[in-house]
Structure 1
């Protein structure tokens, strides 16, 4: 099965299923991609709440106000920035459990430090709503995230309904036999319209800070807005930061933050990059780490090694009662333990794990370890490089990540005609994924898109 060129650039080099896809388009409307966040305590952020219910939101210390943020077509960090500005608080006082899709309608929990429930009434932003719930005992972080529930509509499908049903059933049988889908980092981790996040991260890891900044500012993409593309192309040619500040559209907020610094300090690329919010800075080396993981996982699958069973030398991690994998509780599989480990995997108590590159992380052993070393050799980077000199705050220690993304509560709601596209069909599906797993990775197996950008990825 041929993998699109864009996906190969993101390290996703293979499909796990051989069945034909259904095609189609996601995100035709924002309402076609709905995400509701679930915390480990069971609290679910609902897009259309019938009544506001929450657990553990009655802390006697009234410091961290827990709210549900519902947004439409907003990037999470930009939404947080807009909310903080209206409330007159620092973005550092806003806690989130995870980033949500931008081209979508999403509901997630946030905590805001130092405000009252009444203060939330000051927030009047288009396509953003905040519902205060009560006071949480701490600032929200990914530690509290269980996963996300998705409801996705796939439109503009050319297949007949009978053919659709057959193809869906065939893909699902393969996924069920595998126990899930490869736990690739999804397209949005890298930027689908302008996939440069991991390239910037690679430059940072290699200590090429000027290159990192220039890639972020000036590497154009054929799929972005023409005004933005023209401004980037001009900067790439001229390196004139003052002129670029005049040309770059106001919508490119983060680029303009950097350009303002470089217009005054044209050789201070480290200082310029630090103008970005720290959360955003960290996304770049993490994206490069994700790209390497994707390549390693792809190569394992291409080599014919299983991702739902362990081989000698592999890492495995335990699954907590909540269903979350616990990367801190791991084993390296030996000849003596392989039978016991694979029984635990079969019983849903353990998962195969692959390292995320970092300066403290050791390679797997055996064949898997060789795959990891080969990928890093291809990249001309060592694990030690993830201790980034000049940017210690962006350094990555490394950790283990499950090789398989398990899918919960998968359901096909409709296979009907598409009211928005005459003579086409649509499929409405819902499912739940644990934190760190991407809906688009499941959807790519189901759809097999020839062009992920045109397909809405």
Structure 2
């Protein structure tokens, strides 16, 4: 099973809240002019596309706002506000090589995450063999919350399945209930597989934290980032010598600090160097580890919510027990994901919020023991969740719903994959997610 073979295989559309839609006007009101554009982009990051839009509008980049970042390797549609001097400065449309923007109207404030309800996804899954496709159907049936769930995976009788390769539509406007894990996008800072930056920050090892952050190459590094990490990895310690060879990136500021420092062997300058990294990166490092802890706790609690506690690390759980379990398991580079049939999840668990931990978090039932167990296995305590010697970044507490819904879910019939040389199949999944949930996790739940 493969996704993102081409940008059109992964389409995302941002959904404005009804309140925000009602607040869009044809004319600007008040002293500030906030033009609302609908931006479509292909194979571009959101910041890159927004910078190009601002250039076309002759506006300052810091006068543009957006509700969230959208995938680069995709076709996406999202909303951007640009603060302008007058309404006449807002053209009806603007475009570049990989983007197009259309004026929707004017609003009275810069757009924020609160202005959207979620995102709509249309994703093509390719390179499907028959067992893969059948497993998608089986899992969709188990995760479905509708009475017609029994039609999934049964072939005859339900009316929802058709023989592999036929043209009969296979759509089900329904809702899938899935564990609301953080997706791999959240863990980009750990994609090298060498460790969690925040764990080094917790122990006060700023050199290791810095090396993991900017001096450890990852297979998926590209462009200037690839050159940057490889130069640092091969010449770590030669701060002055490497400085002139480093690509021009904001992260180079940390090496400038080390190049002029006098106490590197004592470790003091590594703290200053880490603090010189862009703050949004520092925050991402902490959030990635918080999300990792949350995912581990959520995996264990998913089993408890279904009345089938999951095997804990080191407890085994052999093939026979796995085949008898109703739970759905999917491997992931950042840890196993466990999903439960919707019919097994009881109402109290469906509405449960779990915290992203901070040092002052209060551990409560029914998840207290699970959190304590996960922290112990990581070799840390709740009070350790701070960065020694720095006021920021910090572990801020937030909550996240344990289970989420993929609404308006539909799954097409398998059909020939025109990009496959082996006669494999493809199918398309479409669904809506609330803000903060990951489409890639839905695909994991379906067996991807």
TM-score normalised by structure 1 residue count? 0.70
Shift of 1:72: 1.7
Deviation at 1:195, TM superposition (A): 4.7
Give the 3 Å change call, closer, same or farther, for CA 344–370 of structure 1 in structure 2: closer
Pick closer, same or farther for the CA change 1:94–1:435 going to 2, 3 Å. same
Runs of 5+ unmatched residues, structure 1: 1-23, 44-53, 310-341, 449-457
Q: Report the counterpart of residue 210 of structure 2 in structure 1.
A: 213
SS of alignment partner, residue 351 of structure 2: strand
1:57 corresponds in structure 2 to: 24
Q: Which has the larger radius of gyration?
A: 2
What secondary structure, in the 3-state scheme, does the structure 1 residue paired with 2:18 have?
A: coil
Question: In structure 2, what is the equivalent of residue 71 of structure 1?
Answer: 41
Corresponding residue number in structure 2 for 1:418: 417
Q: 1:279 to 1:255 in 2, by over 3 A?
A: closer
Counterpart residue number, 1:147:
118
* SS in structure 1 of the partner of residue 284 of structure 2: helix
In 2, Cα distance between equivalents of 1:414 and 1:115: 51
Alignment partner for residue 251 of structure 2, among 243, 250, 255? 255
Aligned-partner Cα distance in 2 for 1:88–1:380: 52
Classify the secondary structure of the residue corresponding to 1:180: strand
User: Which SS does the other structure have where 2:73 is aligned?
Assistant: coil
Alignment partners' CA distance in 1, 2:286 and 2:356 = 11
Contact 2:190 2:197 in 1 (8 A): no
Q: Give the drift of 1:66.
A: 2.2
Q: Name the residue aligned to 2:180.
A: 183
The CA distance in 1 between the partners of 2:80 and 2:65, in whole Å, is 5
Deviation at 1:171, TM superposition (A): 0.8
- The runs of 5 or more residues in structure 2 that have no matched partner are 146-174, 309-344
Which moved further from structure 2: 276-285 or 119-128? 119-128
- 2:95–2:101 contact (8 Å) kept in structure 1: no
Match of 1:158 in 2: 129
Q: Partner residue of 1:21?
A: none
Q: 2:107 aligns with which of 129, 136, 153?
A: 136
> In the alignment, is residue 285 of structure 1 matched against residue 286 of structure 2?
yes
Structure 1 residues 98 and 225: CA distance shift in structure 2, 3 A: closer
**What residue is the counterpart of 1:239 in the other structure?**
237
Find the aligned partners of 1:157 and 1:298 in 2 and give their Cα distance: 27
Deviation at 1:130, TM superposition (A): 2.7
Distance 1:179 1:124 in 2: 37
Q: CA deviation at 1:424?
A: 1.6
Measured after TM superposition, the shift of residue 240 of structure 1 is: 2.3
CA–CA separation in structure 2 for the residues paired with 1:371 and 1:356 = 13
- In structure 1, distance between residues paired with 2:64 and 2:391: 23
Cα deviation, residue 146, structure 1: 1.1
1:72 and 1:102 in contact (8 A); partners too: yes
Offset at residue 203 of structure 1 (A): 3.2
Partner of 2:295: 294
1:8-23 alignment, distance < 5 Å = none
State the aligned residue count.
Answer: 373
> Which region of structure 1 is more displaced relative to structure 2, 169-178 or 422-431?
169-178
Question: Please, what is the CA RMSD of the aligned residues?
Answer: 3.6
SS at match of 2:144: helix
Q: How does 1:341-420 map to 2 (within 5 A)?
A: 345=348, 351-366=351-366, 368-388=367-387, 390-420=389-419
Q: Is the 8 A contact 2:201 2:388 kept in 1?
A: no
Change (3 A) 1:420 1:80: same
Displacement after TM superposition at 1:289 (Å): 0.9
Give the aligned partner of residue 452 of structure 1: none
Give the Cα–Cα distance (whole angstroms) in 1 for the partners of residues 107 and 64 of structure 2.
Answer: 12
SS at structure 1 position matched to 2:432: strand
CA distance change for structure 1 residues 295 and 37 in 2, over 3 Å: closer, same or farther? same
Task: Give me the whole-angstrom Cα distance separating, in 1, the residues matched to 2:80 and 2:260.
Answer: 36
Per-residue deviation at 1:379? 2.4
Give CA deviations for 1:112-164 in whole Å, capped at 9, x if unaligned: 234556656697654233333233222222222311100001112233xxx56
Q: 1:388 offset after TM fit, Å?
A: 3.9
Q: Distance in 1 between matches of 2:280 and 2:50?
A: 12
Q: How much has 1:91 moved relative to structure 2?
A: 4.9
C-alpha separation between the residues in 1 aligned to 2:102 and 2:96? 13
Structure 1 residue 358: Cα displacement = 1.5
The DSSP-based 3-state class of the residue aligned with 1:373 is: helix
Q: 1:223 to 1:344 in 2, by over 3 A?
A: closer
Q: Distance in 2 between matches of 1:410 and 1:418?
A: 22
Distance 1:78 1:278 in 2: 19
8 Å CA contact 2:65–2:111 kept in 1: the answer is yes
TM-score normalised by structure 2 residue count: 0.71
Is the CA contact 1:308–1:345 (under 8 Å) kept in the aligned structure 2? no
Matched, 1:440 2:440: yes
